[in-house]
Structure 1
C-alpha cells in the first residue's frame, strides 16, 4: 500500500485529506507541524508528501520541507499546498524539488487526480531508470526535477492533412541519426513527437532522456548536462552523472533549447561536435554516442538574428526541422481527439461518462485553443470529472473562461451575388449562401447543419474550409 504524509497546521485540512485519500486505498498519516513531520520521515518512509507552504513552525516552511525531502528522501514526491498562489514562489519551489503545486481551495477530485498522477509518474520513472556501469560514481540528488526519465507516452495519430504530413516527416527522419529541431507552439506535443522519433529509431531500446532547459540556470546547466565531481562547487556533496552520459546509446531531448545561456550554449556546441563530455571539476573526458533532438516554441532563426542564440549551434542542430501544427489547423482531428481523451480520462477516473452534448461539441470546435492539445486534454479531464457517471457532458461543465469565447454567437455575413461571375464562381457563391443560410437556421450547430444538408460532418468541415467560412 502506498503511503502519504499530510503536513498542515490546520486540523480540518489534515482530516479532510486523510479521509479523501484513505478512501482511495492509500495509507495516510498527518502532522500539524513541520518539525514533527521531519521526525516522522526519519522513522519511516512515505511515497508522497502533501505540505502546506506556510507553516506555524519557526524557520520551517514548505520550501524547507521540499529541500529536506529532496536531499534525504529522493524517492519521495512533494506537492505543496498554498492559499496564497504566487508564480515566483511556484518557480522557486519547483527548483527546490517539488513535484507539483496546488492552490487552495481545492476539491476532492482534484487532489485524488494529483496524487494518482504523481505516484504513477514516480513509478514509471523508477521502472525506466537506466542502469549504469559499476564503476560510475553515485549521483548526487538533483537540486530540482529537471531530468525526466521516459514515461509511457501515448501519441494519437490524427487524420487531417496536417497530421498526415507530420507523421510522414517523423517516419522519414526516425530511421536516421540526424539532429532534429522540433518547432511548435506551447502544448502542441513536441515532447511526444520526440518520443515517437526515438521509438521508431534504431536506438529505441536505449535510454530516452529529456531535459527542460527552461529550468536550467547558468550555475546548474553544465552540471545537469555533463555531470559534476564531488566538491566541484558549493553544494556538490557527491558526484553526479550528467544527461549526456545517462543518454549514452540513446536519445537526448532538450526542450525549450532557446532558454540556455550563452556559456552553456558554447559548452553544448563542443559536446555535440566532438561527442566528448567532461564533468564539472573533472579532467577526464567521456566519449558518448547519442542522438540530439531539441524543441522550442520560439523562432530560433529570429533568436540567431538578435544574438540570443548562437548561429553555429543552430546550424549544428538544424539537420532537420519538424513543425508541429497547432490544434486550430487540425480541426478534422477534433472528433478523434475528444473521444480518445474521454476514454483515457474515464479509465483514469474508473468511471463511465455520458456522451458529449451536441452544443458542447460545437463549442469545442469553435474555441481557438491557445494551449493546443495540452489545453484540450485538461478541459476533457475537467468535463469528465464534473459530469456524473453516465451523465450527458454539457456546456455547463466548461471552465468559465472558455464559455464566453466558445459559446459566443458568430456573426457571418451572406456573400452578395454578382451576376457578372462565371458559372463555376456562381456555383461556389450559391453553395456559400446555402451553407450560411442553414447554419443560421440551426444556430451554427454544425452537426445539425450537416444533417439538414444530407452530408456528413467531415464533408461540411471541408466545405467550410474551402469556402473560407470561419466559425
Structure 2
C-alpha cells in the first residue's frame, strides 16, 4: 500500500486530504508541525508528502522542510501547497527537487490525480511496474514538450483554465469522435492531440501528424492519400499516405484551414467512406482511423467566408476544444519556466544560473503572443547567452521583453527618440495587432497587410517575433 503524509498547520486541511486519499486506498498520516513531520519521515518511508509552504514552526517553512525531506528520503515525491503563489518561490522549490507547487484550495479530483502522477513518475524513474491508475475526470492539464525530437515529458498546469481543458480531454479521449482543436499559434494544440491519443483505446497504434500549412495541392494529396509510381513527374516510387500509415490509430491534421478546396473535397470523401485511393491508382483501401484536426483560424468564420467546406467542418466537428493562450494561464507560468529551463540545461549539458527578479517580472507582465512556444524559445536564448551558474539578467532578454528604461521613456515622451526605433516599434506593434486579430494565422495576416507570406516571415524574423 502506498503511503502519504500531509503536513499543514490547519487541521481541517489535514483531515480533508486524509479523507480524500484514504478513500482511494492509500495509507495516510498527517502532522500540523514541520518538526514532527521530520521525525515521522525518519521513522517511516512515505511515497508522497503534501506540505504547506507557510507553517507556523519558527524555523521550518515549506522550503526548509522539503530540503530536509529530500535529504532523509530522496525518492519521496514532495508537493508544496500554498495560498499565496509566487513565481520566484515556485522556481526555487522545483529547482530544489520538489515534484510540484500547487495553489489552494484543492479539489478532490486534483489531489487524487496529482498523487497518481507522482507515483507514475516514481515508477518510471525506478523502472518498476507502473502503479494502477484510474484518473478522475478532472485535474491539471498536461503540455507536451518535444525534447530533441522525442516525446519526453509532460508539464502539468494547475490553474482553473488548465483544469477545465483537462476535463474536456478526459471526456473525449476514450471515444472515437473526431475532434477540432482551436487555439492561437504556440498554445500546444499538437500537445492536446497527443494527450487525446495517449488516453484513447488507440494508444498502442500510431499517431501520424501532418502540417497542412506547408502543403501544396499536389503534395497534400500525395502526403494524405499516397501515390503510385509514375503518378506524376517526380514520383519515382510508390508512397504510402498518412491515412494508411495511421491505420488503427489517430491521424492529426494541423492547420487544416490551409488545405485547398479541392483537397478538402477529397478529404471529405475519404473521411465519410473510410477508404483511400492513392494518386494514380484505381484501387481503394479501407482505413480505420480517428481524425483530430487543429487550426489557429476560426473554422466557422472560414466556412462563412467560403474558404472551408461546411460539410467537411460539420463532419469533423463532433467535439471542439479551445486551447487557451498562455496569457490566460498565469498560474501555470512558474512551472513552465522551470521545466523549460531544465530542458534547455539538458540540451546544453550545463547548469544555468537563477533567473533574476527583473527577468521574472518581465515574464509575468509580458503578453506572450507566441504562447508556450515563444516562452520555450526565450528560455533557450537566455540560457544559451548566460554564463555558467551566474544569475540570468534582463539584458539577455529579446528586445520585446526588455524593460523600458526611464531615459528611453522620457526621450519618447519628448519626441527625441531615434526615428528608426520609433518606426520599428510601430511596425512591431502593427504586426502583433493584425496577428492577434486573425488568431495568429500568418497567411491571413499577410493578406490583410498586403504583403506576401515570405515578406511576413522575414519581418517576424527581423523583429524577433517568435510564433
- Give ranges in structure 1 of 5+ residues lacking alignment: 1-149, 411-471
CA contact (8 A) 1:354 1:392 kept: yes
User: Could you list the per-position Cα deviations for residues 326-379 of structure 1 after superposition, in whole angstroms to 9, with x for gaps in the alignment?
Assistant: 000001111111111111111111111121111210110001100000000000
Query: Aligned equivalents of 1:313 and 1:281: distance in 2?
Result: 24
Q: Distance in 2 between matches of 1:176 and 1:358?
A: 46
Aligned 1:41-440 pairs, distance under 5 A: 151-152=150-151, 154-404=153-403
Change (3 A) 1:193 1:209: same
Q: Deviations over 1:383-435 (max 9, x none)?
A: 1111111111111110123215799999xxxxxxxxxxxxxxxxxxxxxxxxx
Conserved 8 A contact 2:394-2:403: no
Query: TM-score, with normalisation over the residues of structure 1?
Result: 0.54
Check 1:268–1:389 CA distance in 2 against 1; reply closer, same or farther (3 A cut). Answer: same
Contact 1:153 1:195 (8 Å CA) reproduced: no
Matched-pair contact (CA < 8 Å) for 2:362–2:401: no
User: Moved runs in structure 1, 4+ residues, more than 2 A?
Assistant: 404-410
Q: Distance in 2 between matches of 1:335 and 1:300?
A: 32
Q: TM-score, normalised by structure 2?
A: 0.54
- Please list the CA deviations of residues 137-185 of structure 1 after superposition, one character each: whole Å capped at 9, or x if unmatched: xxxxxxxxxxxxx941533221111111111111111111110000000
| 1:364–1:406 contact (8 Å) kept in structure 2 | no
User: Which structure 2 residues correspond to residues 18-37 of structure 1 after superposition, within 5 A?
Assistant: none
CA distance in 1, matches of 2:255, 2:311: 18
Structure 2, gaps ≥5 residues long? 1-148, 410-467
Residue number in structure 2 paired with 1:441: none
Report the Cα distance in structure 1 between the residues aligned to 2:358 and 2:392, rounded to whole angstroms. Answer: 10
Change in 2 beyond 3 A, CA 1:407/1:394: farther
CA separation of 1:363 and 1:245: change in aligned 2, threshold 3 A: same
CA distance in 2, matches of 1:409, 1:188: 32
Name the SS for the 2:279 alignment partner.
Answer: coil
Alpha-carbon contact 1:155-1:192 (below 8 Å) kept = no
Q: Report how many aligned residue pairs link the two structures.
A: 261
